[in-house]
Amino acid sequence: MGSLDGKVAIVTGAAQGIGAAIARRLAADNARVVIGDLNLQGSSKVAEECGHGAFALKLDVGDPESVGDFYNEVEAKAGHPDILVNNAAIVPFIAWDEVDFDHWRMIMRVNLDGVFLMCRAGSDRMRIEGTKGRIVNICSNTIFAGTPNMAAYVAAKGGVLGLTRSLATELGGHKITVNAVAPGLTASEGVLDSPHKEAFDFVEMLQAVKGKGTPDDIAPIVAFLASDEAHWITGQTINVDAGMVRW
């Protein structure tokens, strides 16, 4: 018996990093996990590790057609989703002087439009009597810190916080909760492959609890917010960053 017995849980962007840790954790709690990611090879490998009937499908969260096809396939293979974790995002490192409209749109398309498209279609499918739908959006503590070299990203994640609050209101009547988790700097494959990896020492200096954040530090709060037990929490954004941001 796990706390997510009988639940179907979609996790986007789970071919690696924080998403993969979330997928593994939800599966350990007995959810049937469906991974949607651009990287089908990586996500199929994670689905195999998850077990419990997990499977992976190719998905571009920023493309309405891809999102529609994805949900149709999920429905055909696993039925309606109970849990949706919007984790897929591009994590850029780019100086403000180099931010042009193409970059801005590329980030908004995936990091904000993608969350809208997944929630729009996903919440319709959750409005089935008896489904205590759970939506967890992965935000970022950069929205509180105004982290440099990430202007479009920070703006998009601020949008995720706003959407989380408004969707909690829109969907509360259907007993669907909508919350966000805002990680601090976390040693995912994406971060370790970028200039962000140079920031760990500086960030640690600001943390209340010392150490280096890993994807496994983020997954447990997502699993809790996805559980039936968390039914009294909605519209919240929870920082998971060893106390770097205290508000």
Q: Catalytic one among 29, 153, 171, 242? A: 153
d(CA 151, CA 94) in angstroms, rounded, equals: 8
**Using CB under 6 A, which of 147, 164, 179, 188 touches ligand NAD?**
188
| Chain mean position to CA 81 | 15
Decide if 235 contacts 168 (C-beta within 8 A).
yes
Stretch that binds ligand NAD, among 12-20, 96-104, 125-133, 144-152 (CB under 6 A): 12-20
Residue 58's DSSP bridge partners are 37
Residue 139 Cα distances to 31, 64, 144, angstroms:
22, 21, 11
Told to judge if 71 belongs to the known catalytic residues of this protein, a careful annotator would answer no
Q: To the nearest whole angstrom, how small is the minimum distance from the Cβ of residue 59 to ligand NAD?
A: 5
- Under the binding rule (CB under 6 A), the answer on residue 168 touching ligand NAD is no
Stretch that binds ligand NAD, among 49-57, 71-79, 84-92, 166-174 (CB under 6 A): 84-92
Between 23 and 31, CB nearer to ligand NAD: 23
130 in helix, strand or coil?
Answer: coil
d(CA 79, CA 53) in angstroms, rounded, equals: 13
Q: To the nearest whole angstrom, how small is the minimum distance from the Cβ of residue 175 to ligand NAD?
A: 26
**Using CB under 6 A, which of 4, 8, 11, 15 touches ligand NAD?**
15
Stretch that binds ligand NAD, among 26-34, 56-64, 74-82, 164-172 (CB under 6 A): 56-64
- Under the binding rule (CB under 6 A), the answer on residue 62 touching ligand NAD is yes
Within 10 Å of residue 58's Cβ, how many Cβ atoms? 17
Between 92 and 133, CB nearer to ligand NAD: 92
Q: CB under 8 Å to 18, separation ≥6 — which residues?
A: 87, 138, 183, 186, 188, 215, 218, 219
- Under the binding rule (CB under 6 A), the answer on residue 221 touching ligand NAD is no
Between 15 and 119, CB nearer to ligand NAD: 15
Decide if 15 contacts 37 (C-beta within 8 A).
yes
- Under the binding rule (CB under 6 A), the answer on residue 186 touching ligand NAD is yes
- Under the binding rule (CB under 6 A), the answer on residue 118 touching ligand NAD is no
Between 30 and 55, CB nearer to ligand NAD: 55
- Under the binding rule (CB under 6 A), the answer on residue 89 touching ligand NAD is yes
Q: CB under 8 Å to 39, separation ≥6 — which residues?
A: 15, 16
Q: Which helix (H) or strand (E) holds 245?
A: none
Pairing of strands 55-58, 83-86: unpaired
List contacts with ligand NAD (CB under 6 A): 12-13, 15-19, 37-39, 59-62, 87-91, 110, 114, 138, 140, 183, 185-186, 188-191
